[in-house]
Each structure stands twice: as structure tokens, then as C-alpha cells.
Amino acid sequence: MSAIQLAEPADAEAISAFAEASFKDTFAHLYDPADLAAFLADWNPPARVRAQIADPDHGIALVRGEGGAILGFIKMGPVDFDLPPDQPTDDAVELHQLYVAEAAKGTGVAAALMDWGIAWARARASILYLSVFVENNRAQAFYRRYGFVDVGRNAFRVGNHIDEDRFFRLDL
């Protein structure tokens, strides 16, 4: 496994494509193709990723494999979803995305990226939030190993389809 690298503007296209492929690989079977296409068209375009890379309120890191292919990435930033009213958002940040290539799962890539993300969050806040699909048990188990606790649920729209996500919180 390569070392963790901070994303650079030139990485935006590859990160965007990797995120889209990962989302499709994991969740495409749940959605009507038109709903999925509508969601992906605006979800993580390269221009947005490039702007987030340049934004000091965001942190994006990645791990590359042989030949420079992305094995995984993590995106951190301000909280941008509506949490339950009992959850404070002052002094909080969000883990927006953590995706790892199927071939790299179980190799330590996810753990290395998560460790980086928690360190990034600790330098900026006292609470770290994330949301995860209610049926993504593997991801939920991974986050629980880090001490995240379930603090609520939220609707997650993909086109006209509405899923349920769980909010998780880690006190830093």
C-alpha cells in the first residue's frame, strides 16, 4: 500500500470517477437507472471536487496503488446535512465520503484513510459525524470499531427514490 497523499487539483477527475464507480458498484442494484443517473449527474462532479481540494475547510486524501490507480479516498469537511435537533453542529465536522476499491478492501487502506480522517477532524473540531446507508452493515461495523455511535436517521434521495441513512457520531 502506498502512503496517504493529500489530493491535488489534478486529482479531481480521477477522484470523481472513482467515487462514481464505487457508488455504482455498491448501490446501483437498488435504483432505477434514471434515478441513479440523475443523482450521479450532480453528486460529485470534478469541478466540485477541485473546489473542495482548494478549500481549507475540506480535506481530501487518497491512497494509490501500483501504476498510480486510486485504491481509496476520504473526503472531510463541514457538516452539510440536517442532524436530529439534539445533535450539536457547532465544533463539528463531517466525514463526507470514504470509498475503497473492492480489491483493496481488507488490506488496511480503509483503516489508514480513517485514521487520517480522524486526525484531520481532531485538529478542527470535537465532534465527527457521518451518514451511512441503513443496510450497509459492513460500513456500520467498520465505523463502530472506531467508536462511532448511531444518533439518528435521515432520508437520502437518489433521483425519485428515497433511502434511509443512519447518522453516526464520534466524540473526538
pLDDT at 91 over 70: yes
Q: What is the pLDDT of residues 74-86, one digit of tens each?
A: 999 999 988 888 8
pTM of the model: 0.91
Domains by residue range for the chain, with CATH: 4-122 (3.40.630.30)
pLDDT tens, residue by residue, 10-24: 999 999 999 999 888
Mean pLDDT across the stretch 4-9? 97
Long-range contacts of 34-41 (CB under 8 A, 24+ apart): 34/159, 35/158, 35/159, 35/160, 35/161, 36/158, 36/159, 37/159, 38/158, 38/159, 39/157, 39/158, 39/159
C-alpha cell at 81: 446535512
Those residues whose C-beta lies under 8 Å from the C-beta of residue 119, and which sit 6 or more positions away, are: none
